[in-house]
Each structure stands twice: as C-alpha cells, then as structure tokens.
C-alpha cells in the first residue's frame, strides 16, 4: 500500500481529540537527520536507518501541526524517543510505512501507536502473544487474531511505558472487554493489577493500526 493510500485511510478515522498523526515512506529520500538523531543510528544497517529516518520525519510533521516545526527527537538510553517538553508521542515503523502520533501532555499522559502488516501470525508465536480466551475476542481465525493482538499490546505497552518505564512481556497485559481494553495481570507501578488501558484498532488497507491514548487524568481516575 502506498503512503498516499495510507493517508487516505487515515483521513477517514476519527482519532481522539487534539491528536496529530503523520506518515512517511521509509523508501523515500528524506532530509538529513539532526545530529543528535544521527548519533542513534551511526552503526545501524541501511534498512534500520531508513525506517528510523522516516519515523523522525513523520514525528516532525506531527509536531509541526502542533506549532513545533523542525524540532529534534533524540533517542534516550532506553531507545524511547525523547519528545519536546509539553508533548507526548509515539512512532511505529514497518518496511513500507512509518507513522507518528503526538499530543499535548496537558491532555495525554501517554500515547502508543502500532502499525503492522496484515496477515496471519505463525502458530509457533501465538501462545507467546496471548491466550485462546484473548484471541477468541478478536477472531475465530487465531492467526489473524494473533497479529491484531500483537499490535494492540504493542500500542498499549508504548503508552504505559511513558509512565512506568518498565519492560515486560506480553503476558503482563490481558485483552478484555471484548477487545476494548488491556488489563494489567500484575502490578506495574504506577499501575495496579486490574488497571485497564483503553485500545482502538482499525484496518487500514493491508495493515492494522492500533492506538492507546491515556488521558492526563488516567492515573487520577484509577487511584
């Protein structure tokens, strides 16, 4: 699917309020990375560099829509993007498209976006992603369901990481509420066991797009 086709699909999505979304083609020629960004991929292979560069381009375009043109987005030691003060965001890369979403930190405590090529996940990986109960909430075709669940959990993980800075596996989050939320199976401070992260998912051509947007009041509501 071309970037133009992806942008057309995205234009039909009613994203939550005051979020900006942009995409970029990793196969296109983009302006040079900022020096602080270049340092993150000095030893990376060409494919990784292309995806990283397109992701930064998409992120800069999203931030420009917020009135922050041309800013640098360095990579922290934990490899997470470092967003400008007062903003939150998320980036997702594939071999054919990169997408970024940004918002104001007064509105959102964390954002997570994930873009995955549609298709069936290999049976050897499905148990690692989720349980039969989780997969059944998405589709009778567990190969397709596993791909979609992987994307949902990736988006939720990214959103919560902005608050917890904790690395964990797929089993720490359980799909519930008919696929509308991912529940913590154990405490991951500041989240408690049972806290739910809201998730949304759309089919965009031959890809799945997942989003987790945590409002700035999320933890206050949960406390």
- Residue set of the binding site for CoA: 48, 56, 92-93, 114, 154, 158
* CB-count exposure of residue 78 (10 Å: 0-12, 13-18, 19+): exposed
- Residue numbers belonging to the annotated binding site for Mg(2+): 114, 116
List of residues 6+ apart from 193 with CB closer than 8 A: 184, 185, 186, 187
Q: Assess contact for 192 and 186: CB atoms under 8 A.
A: no
Strands 87-93 and 196-198: what pairing? unpaired
Q: Assess contact for 20 and 102: CB atoms under 8 A.
A: yes
- Residue numbers belonging to the annotated binding site: 48, 56, 92-93, 114, 116, 154, 158
Distance CA 161, CA 30 (A): 29
Structure tokens at 162: 């902005």
């Amino acid at each position: 699917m071309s970037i133009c086709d992806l942008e057309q699909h995205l234009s039909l999505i009613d994203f939550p309020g005051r979020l900006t979304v942009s995409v970029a083609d990793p196969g296109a020629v983009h302006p040079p990375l900022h020096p602080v960004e270049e340092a993150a991929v000095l030893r990376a292979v060409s494919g990784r560099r292309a995806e990283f560069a397109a992701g930064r381009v998409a992120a800069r375009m999203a931030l420009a829509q917020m009135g922050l043109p041309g800013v640098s987005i360095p990579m922290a030691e934990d490899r997470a993007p470092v967003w400008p003060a007062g903003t939150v965001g998320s980036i997702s890369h594939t071999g054919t498209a990169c997408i970024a979403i940004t918002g104001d930190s007064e509105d959102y405590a964390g954002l997570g976006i994930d873009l995955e090529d549609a298709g069936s996940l290999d049976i050897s990986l499905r148990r690692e992603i989720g349980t039969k109960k989780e997969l059944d909430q998405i589709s009778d075709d567990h190969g397709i369901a596993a791909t979609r669940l992987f994307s949902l959990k990736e988006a939720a993980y990214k959103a919560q990481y902005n608050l917890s800075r904790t690395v964990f596996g797929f089993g720490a989050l359980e799909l519930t509420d008919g696929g509308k939320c991912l529940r913590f199976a154990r405490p991951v401070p500041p989240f408690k066991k049972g806290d739910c992260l809201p998730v949304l998912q759309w089919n965009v051509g031959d890809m799945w797009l997942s989003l987790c947007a945590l409002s700035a009041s999320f933890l206050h509501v949960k406390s």
